[in-house]
Amino acid sequence: MSGLEKLTTKQGNLFFLVTSDFVAMLAANAFYYYVRVRSGLFRVMAVPDFWGPVVLLSLFLMFLFWFWGLYKFSYLSSRLEEVIAILKITTLGVAILFFAIFFDDATSGRIPHIRLFLLFYWCVLVFFASFSRVIFRTVQKRLLLRGIGLKKAIIVGCGERARSVYDLAKKYRSLGYEPLGFVAVGGTIAAEGLPAPLLSRSADLNDTVEKYKAKEVIIALEENEKENIPGIITSINGADADIKIVPDLYDSIAGQARTSQLYGFPLIDVVPQLMQQWQIVTKRLMDIVVSAVCLVAGLPLWIIVAVAIKIDSGGPIIYRQERVGKELKNFTLRKFRSMYVDAEKQTGPVWASKNDPRVTKVGRFLRKSHLDETPQFLNVLKGEMSLVGPRPERPFFVEKLSKEIPLYKRRYKVKPGLTGLARVKYKYDESIEDVKIDLQYDLYYIENMSLRLDFQILFWTIFHVMLGKGHA
């Protein structure tokens, strides 16, 4: 792969983007330093150190860029939208610097005209950062127009809609797609007249994605075929490829999508979550702080619970069980043991039921009060879980349910949670019908993820715990 091609890969895009931003920030700070200190146009009290502040200020502003999601990989980034985002973020950055460093100097008058200097500094930052971004995106799109770095794409469908998508992808190469061919859906489809090869049928779609190393799957079905969309999404859920559909099929996946458009080429990007980077960081910080405080502050109570379990039924205090986490990776979940030892030895994996005879006396209280879940704060602290998210399930049930329920595996695109929308709005799973209802809540949460919704769910959870609405 040539250096030019590396620019258009995900890793290359990030490396060159970060490098160009860093150079732009250094240049902006160096230019401001020269005008403010070295030009002789202004009186300065002392000549400050150069490289230390310049590097620190550059890294600080780049941190704000990352925090607000300006380092996400996308060919569809609009240069105008990026310039507007840079304007907003640099405004925030300069405001933070003013109140953190220069506010006292401004109010005391030690540095004359400090506000004008900050305004000039802001203009310099906006110009250099925007100029760098515009140049970077222009070079990137020029390379794509020359066919360098295009992402291999497979189009699902063989009708007029699919052919239109193919034609537009070939025409507007700056979208970054290299359409390889079509995948047939449903009955017998004649390959005659298709502008590209018929690669396979939808039943073999996952294998087709892997065979051709496709990075994009574009679903472009006719109106009478759209009932196949949930099955198609499920079939490629484990593949390393992004999924997009044409906009008028949006209603068929109940809103789990983000719309993007360029040059009249409309697509819906099926995504696992819509949280911005700063919200993701804040959510993780909240996970760490809350779980650490609860583990330490509740230590006396955890000791009492441990002693009660030992007196009631003997055996181990902590129950460990393998669960499926984000991206279908297994982890060990911890709970205070609420059932008798070897409770599933005769039955195998089964869901707990109301008034389950396998639950101990102490365990019934722990379940009712949700205290049995508290060791999962360790899982949250380790990053295997979050405070809020879909509840993790055992591998046996995940394998079983993913075959019976379309889109079931999509709930594992985010971290599982200690509590979740399904937990506070519905009840514990006792049947496959319960799982189907839970899945609706989980998918709603995934497509509407936000800190506000997390706080609401945590409030509802506290309310449930206080009312003793656990599953006894």
CATH number for 258: 3.40.50.720
Q: Is residue 472 part of a domain?
A: no
For 92-131, write each residue's pLDDT tens digit: 888 887 776 655 554 544 555 567 778 888 999 999 999 9
Q: Is residue 17 part of a domain?
A: yes
CA 354 to mean position of chain CA atoms: 35
State whether 134 and 183 are in the same domain: no
**Among 292-296, 334-338, 402-406, 411-415, whose mean pLDDT is lowest?**
402-406
3-class SS of residue 188 = coil
Q: What is the pLDDT of residue 190?
A: 58
Q: Which of 270, 293, 328 is the last residue of a domain?
A: 270
State whether 316 and 461 are in the same domain: yes
Q: What is the pLDDT of residue 390?
A: 92
Both tokens of 203, joined, read 């039943």
Q: What is the pLDDT of residue 198?
A: 86
Q: Is residue 306 part of a domain?
A: yes
Total of domains in the chain? 3
State whether 233 and 281 are in the same domain: no
**Which long-range CB contacts under 8 A does 288-291 form with residues at least 24 apart?**
288/380, 288/381, 290/377, 290/380, 290/387, 291/377, 291/378, 291/380, 291/381, 291/387
State whether 224 and 195 are in the same domain: yes
State whether 233 and 300 are in the same domain: no
Both tokens of 35, joined, read 């005008």
**Is the pLDDT score of 251 beyond 60?**
no
The confidence band for 76, taking pLDDT boundaries of 50, 70 and 90, is: low
Supply the mean pLDDT for the chain: 79
State whether 331 and 392 are in the same domain: yes
Both tokens of 206, joined, read 């996952």
State whether 246 and 210 are in the same domain: yes
CB 366 within 8 A of CB 372: yes
- What is the extent of the structural domain holding 125? 3-145
State whether 27 and 94 are in the same domain: yes
Q: Which of 145, 173, 203 is the last residue of a domain?
A: 145
Q: Is residue 433 part of a domain?
A: yes
The answer to whether the pTM exceeds 0.75 is: no
State whether 164 and 136 are in the same domain: no
Q: Is residue 167 part of a domain?
A: yes
- Identify the CA nearest to 268 among candidates 284, 250, 252: 250
Q: What is the pLDDT of residue 2?
A: 53
The confidence band for 50, taking pLDDT boundaries of 50, 70 and 90, is: low
Q: Which of 145, 168, 196 is the last residue of a domain?
A: 145
For 149-165, write each residue's pLDDT tens digit: 788 999 988 888 888 88
State whether 222 and 323 are in the same domain: no
In degrees and rounded to multiples of 5, residue 134 shows phi and psi of -65, -45
Q: Is residue 112 part of a domain?
A: yes
State whether 290 and 227 are in the same domain: no
For 198-245, write each residue's pLDDT tens digit: 888 776 788 888 888 888 888 888 877 877 877 787 777 666 788 887
CB 85 within 8 A of CB 93: no
Q: Is residue 471 part of a domain?
A: no
State whether 231 and 320 are in the same domain: no
Q: Is residue 226 part of a domain?
A: yes
CB 180 within 8 A of CB 152: yes
Strand partners for 320? 334
